Structure 1
Amino acid sequence: MRSRAGRATRRAQDTGAPPTCEHLATLNADPSPNTPSSCEGCAELGEVTWAHLRMCMTCGHVGCCDSSPHQHATEHFRRSGHPVMRSAEPGESWRWCYIDLRVG
């Protein structure tokens, strides 16, 4: 199954759309220089398992990905409107814009 980020990248390539968006293009440094080790929402619920971690590029909130049962990263976007998150997995540097459905 292709990921949301993969589908969006392919869609941008197929349509000739720019490979990024204004939200991804205007990013500054990460709000937190450290790689987080847990999902904040899952920790509050007493959960100890999730698929992957994502960090909000606006405020540094750490949530679990959409493959996790609670999808806290997307929930944070819906509540806050913060448009971009990054993978918080070791060795990964990609970012995702929830508004424009773009990977960067």
Structure 2
Amino acid sequence: MSNERIPGIDPDVGPSGEGCAQCLAGDGPGWWLHLRRCAQCGRIGCCDSSPSQHAGRHAREAGHPFLTSFEPGEDWFWNVETGNYYEGPRLRAPESHPREQPVPGPEGRVPEDWQEHLH
């Protein structure tokens, strides 16, 4: 990890919440497989394997090139423009959703046949 500023990554911005903002607001089926965090604005969205793919869509539409995992124990950055993984700075806490939050999630909204809805 480096202290050097990387365009598209703002380590001072915190996450927007503990789950995908759009799924929780009722956009799509309302559940996710994994969560991603926009490294520029902090928006939490669902991964590209999730039914709604909100994180990747946000990054492309907003022109925010880097997403990072919002899963416990993961610290990678992915550039949506290049399709490559990168190392980056430590972001403002929290760095993941709560460990007790189930994957997939959120609790009570995931269908029994969830595997059949993944991309």
Classify the TM-score, shorter chain. 0.5 to 0.7
Give 1 or 2: higher helix fraction.
1
Change (3 A) 1:28 1:91: same
Alignment of 1:75-90 (within 5 A): 75-90=57-72
Return 5+ residue gaps in structure 2 as ranges: 87-119
Seq. identity, %:
41
Aligned twin of 1:70: 52
Q: Distance in 2 between matches of 1:91 and 1:30?
A: 20
Q: CA deviation at 1:75?
A: 1.1
8 Å CA contact 1:35–1:90 kept in 2: the answer is no
Q: State the SS of the aligned residue for 2:60.
A: helix
Q: Deviations over 1:44-96 (max 9, x none)?
A: 11754210000001100110001100000011012201000100001100110
Give the match's secondary structure for 1:45. Answer: coil
CA distance in 1 between partners of 2:12 and 2:38 (Å): 9
CA distance in 2, matches of 1:89, 1:102: 19
| TM-score, normalised via structure 1 length | 0.66
Distance 2:10 2:32 in 1: 28
